[in-house]
């Protein structure tokens, strides 16, 4: 089982292809992923990938899957700590969602963008998606028990929370939330650049988390 065996058969081409694709997605964008280049980068021929994936979509599904696994691990870590305060966990989960998007913008795009939407997803992909969502649902339930979130269908409430975070993440990743200096003289939000920028997006994130959690709080009256 030598690592450097350059024989006819690659050790684990499937995994190698996914890793390479993952790298390309983040560094050069989803569009830059080509079956041929993937083959070349992993030292095999252009069509070798077809022995492991039905087609390109199938391969991209596997890459997206990897993304959900990463998210899932992050969520697991969050759940492992501070298991007593549900609301705090929920806030951390929400922030973690946006943080993931900022850490892996292109991967995030792949996971939720229109490249895969419409196409039939792999069962494996569906599974990891459900698994990562489970943390949210579980924590919402916990909050309901602790009376920090209103009663009602926990899945619906989770959807609200998810949608809010997802919207913010999406707009941030796509650079659609920008400085509106030209419009009102008030810099508000921007993904690109640095410094104050970072602070601004952080501020909007704070606002968002606060608003959503306040919006889902028990109706006091």
Partner DNA sequence: ATGAGAAGTTGGCTTTGTCTACTTTGCTTG
Partner DNA sequence: CAAGCAAAGTAGACAAAGCCAACTTCTCAT
Task: Specify the residue, 114 or 182, whose C-beta has the smaller distance to DNA.
Answer: 114
Taking the complex as a whole, the smallest distance from the CB of residue 129 to DNA amounts, in Å, to 23
Taking the complex as a whole, the smallest distance from the CB of residue 17 to its own copies amounts, in Å, to 22
Residues 181, 187 contacting (CB under 8 angstroms):
yes
- Residue 160 binds to its own copies (criterion: CB under 8 A): yes
- Residue 40 binds to DNA (criterion: CB under 7 A): no
How many residues of this chain interact with DNA, rule: CB under 7 A? 22
Q: How far apart are CA 160 and CA 140, in angstroms?
A: 11
Q: Residues with Cβ < 8 Å from 220, sequence gap 6 or more?
A: none
CB environment 164-175: b (16+ within 10 A), e (fewer): bbbebbbbbbee
DSSP letter, residue 41: H
Options 19, 26, 52, 179; binder of DNA; rule CB under 7 A: 52
Options 83, 175, 198, 218; binder of its own copies; rule CB under 8 A: 175
Q: How far apart are CA 48 and CA 35, in angstroms?
A: 9
Residues 79, 139 contacting (CB under 8 angstroms):
yes
**Which stretches of the chain bind DNA, using CB under 7 A?**
7-10, 13, 33-37, 39, 44-48, 50-52, 55-57
**Which stretches of the chain bind its own copies, using CB under 8 A?**
29-30, 109, 112-115, 117-118, 130, 134, 137, 152-157, 159-160, 162-171, 173-177, 180, 183-184, 186, 188-189, 203-204, 207-208, 210-217
């Amino acid at each position: 089982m030598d690592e450097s065996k350059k024989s006819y058969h690659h050790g684990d081409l499937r995994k190698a292809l996914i890793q390479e694709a993952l790298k390309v997605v983040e560094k050069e964008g989803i569009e830059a992923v080509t079956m041929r280049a993937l083959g070349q980068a992993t030292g095999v021929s252009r069509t070798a990938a077809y022995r492991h994936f039905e087609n390109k979509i199938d391969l991209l599904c596997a890459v997206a899957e990897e993304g959900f696994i990463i998210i899932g691990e992050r969520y697991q870590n969050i759940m492992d700590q501070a298991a007593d305060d549900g609301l705090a966990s929920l806030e951390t989960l929400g922030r973690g969602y946006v943080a993931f998007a900022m850490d892996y913008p292109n991967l995030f795009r792949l996971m939720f963008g229109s490249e895969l939407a419409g196409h039939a997803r792999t069962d494996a992909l569906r599974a990891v998606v459900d698994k990562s969502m489970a943390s949210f649902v579980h924590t919402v339930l916990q909050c309901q028990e602790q009376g920090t979130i209103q009663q009602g269908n926990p899945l619906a409430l989770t959807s609200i929370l998810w949608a809010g975070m997802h919207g913010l993440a999406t707009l941030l990743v796509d650079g659609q939330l920008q400085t509106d200096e030209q419009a009102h003289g008030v810099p508000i939000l921007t993904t690109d650049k640095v410094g104050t920028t970072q602070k601004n997006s952080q501020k909007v994130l704070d606002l968002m988390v606060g608003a959503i959690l306040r919006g889902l709080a028990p109706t006091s009256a």
